[in-house]
Chain A
Amino acid sequence: MDIIISFAIAVLFATGIYQLLRRNVVRSALGLVIISNAINLFLLAIGAYDGTVQSYAKAIGVRSDALPLALILTAIVISMGGFAFTFAMLYIVMRRYKTADIDAITELKN
């Protein structure tokens, strides 16, 4: 389980960073969503899932902690609002320029 979750976090992070750097505004916004999900999964992993010892304790054992779940819930709610807002603004910007190419959206630079 540990290894699966670690791989999932790594793959999500890598995908997110890769999408973030694309020259397409929609893809770069989706990269942000993917990174935020990777971080939520990471928060789940630091809380671990079964056992009695906390993740930060230096003792060796099966680890578990409920607090990160509360952090994830808060983070999910906040990021949902944030991403809805992101895509709403993106829609307006793209409708104006009629393109998703980041190099074409340049009116602000001077």
Chain B
Amino acid sequence: MNSQDAILPIAIPLAGAGVAMLLRGWPKAQRLWTFGILMASLAMCVNLLNHVFSSSKPLVFQLGGWAAPFGISIVVDALSAIMIVMVQFVMLMGCIYALDAKDIAKRYSVFMPLFLTLTVGLTGAMLTGDTFNLFVFMELIVISAAALTAMSDDRSGTEAAYKYFYISQLATIFLLLANGLIYMSYGTLNMADLAIRIKTDALAGGPMPPMFTLAMVCFFATFMIKCAAFPFHFWQPDFHAAAPTAVSAMLSSVVVKSGVYGFIRMTTLLFEPFAPQLQQVLMLIGAIGVIYGGFSAFGTHHAKRMFAYSTLAQIGFMLMGIGWGGTLGIAAAIVFMVNHALIKSAMLMLSGYLASKAQIKSASFENIKGLGKYLPQSGVLFFVGSMALAGLPPLNGFVSKMMVFRAGIEAEQWAWLAAIGLASLLTLIYTMRAFQWVWFVPPAAGVKAKKDGDSLFAPTVLILACVVLGIWGESLVSVAIQASEWVQQPAAYIAAVHPAK
């Protein structure tokens, strides 16, 4: 495999988005084209994952042939490879859901091209080895996701998109500031080069450059807003309720992961000498997120809002995993990320499916109460999905929660463990409450399911993936542990990107 292939998961959807824009006069051709592009790009990602694990060293492509500290490096290491496969698989499922959805969004000719640029942004943010390039891809994620949110059936869709865009734009502006500060301190924006310089400076024991701490804080805050961690979560539930289903499923499952990925890179590569302090903060915001998210989800009256708050809690678990650190902690975070992406996108698609079957298109519980009587097959999927979300065996949620608890036991953090253990029981309570409201309460007079609605194909595939990854969980766990061992040794990453040092 050539080193140029590392850029294909970015280049294929980007070129595809351009062509899809030209196909705007032929909606059917455009949809098929988008689907085909996502398939091709997913195949490329799986190929890269396979290659990286079989050759057991990162695949690096220096854009334009400019060697490491000067040019932009595209780095596919084990962590990035797992992340891009996850992102593109879930995006493909979102595309399949959108193909058959009855949303207004389908009528906009830019929907599919924006879906592709969102994929480009996510994949790029996870592959790039350059912090300024990270800023560019983050901005691409934000602008595509906001435009997609605005194409909503809900009349407050634009308001939701504005809210999302405003907060995320602020976050990316501060990422730009962080880039400026880090460039001022070290004169480089290449992650591998930065890691070397920061480590040398920290080992020398003298004072760090004056703006260094501020740069670290700006990076941290940006990623916190990206993954909607505790104090910065307030905007997330609002726009979830209004976004089109295919979009909200993507935003809550894969877009938030760009922030979690950023935290892993921060604590293991960029700011590795300062990891203990960062991990303390991550543990704190993670634990608060788990507890606060659980209780907030319990207090909602809208299925999509409930799952948005549940994302806050689940992100908390991932941050706890990164906070505990070590091989097991990072592996737990990786497994949790992959499993959560599958479960949460399936659950949001099921909520959207229920909304599309209701008379008024809204997923608020009073609107869909009792509707389940007419939709038994979605009930089975919802039940399995909520069991997975709550972490009951034999589903994949159990594997990921068990990994996090194992990491906590290894780190001997008993108080944290007790707190998040209790809080994770809340998941079971709120999802079962929703299940009971929709499938067990008899429908009110006149409530009937509509004939036409969204298709159940995409959520079925995702739930099947949850079951498969629950029963044959070892494959994912062993891959994640391997990836975690890689990221524990930044020297290998640095040597691959920057052979001169």
Q: Which residues of A contact B (CB under 8 A)?
A: 28-29, 32, 35-36, 39, 42-43, 46, 54-57, 65, 67-68, 71, 74-75, 78-79, 81-82, 85-86, 89-90, 92-93, 96, 105, 107-110
Contacts and interface: CB of A to CB of B under 8 A. Distances in A.
Given A46-B184, A54-B187, A78-B136, A85 B143 contact: yes
Contacts of B139: 78, 82
B323 to A, nearest CB: 30
Interface string B182-195: 01111100000000
Given A32-B170, A108-B239, A68 B180 contact: yes
B66 interface: no
A102 B311 CA distance: 27
B187 A56 contact: yes
Interface centre among A56, A86, A92 (most CB of B within 10 A): A56
A36 B170 CA distance: 9
Contacts of A79: 173
B169 interface: yes
A71 B187 contact: no
Nearest to B150: A89
B165 interface: yes
Interface string B144-173: 001100100001101111110110011001
A29 B169 CA distance: 10
Contacts of A86: 162, 165-166, 169
A42 B238 contact: no
A39 B174 CA distance: 9
Q: 6 shortest A-B CB distances, which residue pairs?
A: A56-B187, A46-B184, A108-B238, A89-B162, A92-B158, A107-B156
A23 B155 CA distance: 23
B301 interface: yes
Given A75-B135, A92-B158, A110-B301, 16 more contacts: A32-B169, A35-B170, A39-B176, A43-B176, A46-B183, A54-B187, A56-B183, A56-B209, A65-B187, A68-B180, A71-B180, A71-B183, A82-B143, A89-B165, A90-B162, A108-B241
Q: State which size class the interface on B falls in.
A: 35 or more
Contacts of A75: 135, 176
Nearest to A91: B158
A104 B150 CA distance: 20
Interface in B373-391: none
B87 interface: no
A92 B187 CA distance: 43
A85 to B, nearest CB: 6
Nearest to A97: B159
A32 B136 CA distance: 18
A96 B161 CA distance: 14
B253 to A, nearest CB: 21
Contact of B159 (A32, A65, A82, A93): A93
Contacts of B187: 54-57, 65
B179 interface: yes
Nearest to A82: B169
